[in-house]
Amino acid sequence: RKEVEQDPGPFNVPEGATVAFNCTYSNSASQSFFWYRQDCRKEPKLLMSVYSSGNEDGRFTAQLNRASQYISLLIRDSKLSDSATYLCVVTSYNNNDMRFGAGTRLTVKP
């Protein structure tokens, strides 16, 4: 079983749609959780951290369920510029042991 698993995608949605990505992790000792965005042939960039209480940043909402070892990302009012691969990242200690999901490809169409 992979340490971090994500929806395989791809997700193709129209502009303005709401889309949700899911991620599960196997290591119950995991401490920190993140969503990264990766554009084609570019490095990953931090989108947002994920906290147990859930957090929101504009159109993006992240949720963490430690009991189920499950993380989600919700994107509302999708924009064309949201098209990218979204990586779920889990770390075990001090962000020095990052494990990445395979990523979910999102394409937002006009």
Partner 1 sequence: GAVVSQHPSWVICKSGTSVKIECRSLDFQATTMFWYRQFPKQSLMLMATSNEGSKATYEQGVEKDKFLINHASLTLSTLTVTSAHPEDSSFYICSAGDQAGGPLGTDTQYFGPGTRLTVL
Of 22, 27, 49, 69, the one binding partner 1 by CB under 8 A: 49
Footprint on residues 65-84 left by partner 1 (CB under 8 A): none
Task: List binders of partner 1 among 20-39 (CB under 8 A).
Answer: 31-32
Stretch that binds partner 1, among 17-25, 62-70, 74-82, 93-101 (CB under 8 A): 93-101
- Neighbour-count burial for 69-96, b at 16+ CB within 10 Å, e otherwise: bebbbebeebeeebbbbbbbbbbbeeee
Q: Which stretch binds partner 1 (CB under 8 A): 14-22, 45-53, 67-75, 76-84?
A: 45-53
Burial class (CB in 10 A: 0-12, 13-18, 19+), 106: buried
Q: Does 47 bind partner 1 (CB under 8 A)?
A: no
Q: Could you give the dihedral angle defined by the CA atoms of residues 91, 85, 11 and 97, in that order, rounded to the nearest 10 degrees? A: -10
> Interface with partner 1 includes 96 (CB under 8 A)?
yes
Does residue 43 bind partner 1 (CB under 8 A)? yes
* Site residues (vs partner 1, CB under 8 A): 31-32, 41-46, 49, 87, 91, 94-103
